[in-house]
Amino acid sequence: MDEKVLNSVDEPLVLDNHLTMSLGPHVKSSESTRRIMLDVIIALTPAMIGAIYFFGLNAAMLIAISIASAVLFEAATQKFFKKDILIGDLSAVVTGLLLAFNLPANAPWWIAVFGAAFAIIVVKEFFGGIGSNFMNPALAARVALVSSWPVIMGTYIGPDGVTGATPMVLIKSGSVDLPSIGNMFIGNIGGSLGETSALLLLIGTAYLFIRKVIDWKIPFIYIGTTIVMLFILGVKPELLIYHLFGGGLILGAFFMATDYSSSPITPNGKILFGIGAGILTALMRVKGGMPEGVSYAILLMNVASPVIEKFTKPKVFGRVK
């Protein structure tokens, strides 16, 4: 057999120019970016259908425009930078869908276009594309939209088409005229397109766990810490369920805080990320000037993720100082 052994231990051993032997570990998985993104899309589909059912055709238009814009901006940006066009991995579709879920049902169409441009071009592609973004693109776009057009992003309609306050706004104002827990759980309340129905989001979440797409640590620790901190900060026990179902906590915890690129990969890092996001969310809801805090809490923890990973990196087996 004609064998050629290369000098460096980091280089492979080539046998007969057909077989390649390289250093371990040799782990093969059937998972791919496209498969994972498809699972997320499937998980978000119940909430998407619910948003269209509750809020009507304008919701469907916003979702379609947001997804189409995200895909087009990604293809155009990658072509401009002379990179491979990777829209087939479906990550832009997920970003567009999550962005739409963060929009009010009565938002104008151009809000979705601007948000998609910011999410894809500025947050994702400018930092290297998928796997390189340091924060969740959809949440970053939402914050940019809230900062630029606070009235549009802060005006919500209910399923009846009437403008009204969300449960978080009502709680913040001290109102006792809150919707029923049943309506909140089903989604028959005002709010962003994808945050109103806890039931439909939890159905999608169950699918993600069955498919083993996400780990339990970040979302459950995030939600648990938020509830505990709200209680410590003096929120009445009977209002805790409203804080759980009435804002973007479930959507943010299970579908955004678990973003692979912008959250820690170490086990202890995930725990710290969830605790930090929960503390920040509770502080912003109770002590902050705005009724909601999920977006800002997750983004701040995204920025802290590299530091968290640095200090929670496990010991390498066999390494001696």
Domain of 235: which CATH number?
A: 1.10.3430
Indicate whether 9 belongs to any domain: no
In a domain, 15, yes or no: no
Cβ atoms of 197 and 204 within 8 Å: the answer is: no
Q: Is residue 16 part of a domain?
A: no
The number of distinct structural domains making up the chain is: 1
Q: Which sign, positive or negative, has the C-alpha torsion 42, 140, 221, 91?
A: positive
Predicted structure pTM score: 0.87
Adjacency order of strands within the sheet including 13-15? 3-4, 13-15, 19-21
Q: What is the DSSP string of 56-124?
A: -HHHHHHHHHHHHHHHHHHHHHHHHTT----GGG-HHHHHHHHHHHTSBTT--HHHHHHHHHIIIIIII
Q: Look at residue 82 and tell me if it is in a domain.
A: yes
List the chain pLDDT tens, one digit each, 321 residues.
444 444 444 444 555 555 555 545 555 555 688 999 999 999 999 999 999 999 999 999 999 999 999 999 999 999 999 999 999 999 999 999 999 999 999 999 999 999 999 999 999 999 998 888 899 999 999 999 999 999 999 999 888 777 878 888 888 888 878 888 999 899 988 889 999 999 999 999 999 999 999 999 999 999 999 999 999 999 999 999 999 998 899 999 999 999 999 999 999 999 999 999 999 999 999 998 888 899 999 999 999 999 999 999 887 666 655
Is position 178 within any domain?
yes
Position 254 in a domain: yes
CA distances from 248 to 16, 68, 167, 191, 303 (A): 58, 24, 11, 9, 20
3-class DSSP state of 15:
strand
Q: How far is CA 11 from the centre of its chain?
A: 38
Q: Say if residues 156 and 164 touch (Cβ distance below 8 Å).
A: yes
Alpha helix locations (H) across 149-197?
150-153, 167-173, 181-186
Q: Is residue 133 part of a domain?
A: yes
In a domain, residue 143? The reply is: yes
Domain that includes residue 253, residue range? 33-312
The pLDDT tens digits of the residues spanning 211-256 come to 999 999 999 999 999 999 999 999 999 999 999 998 899 999 999 9
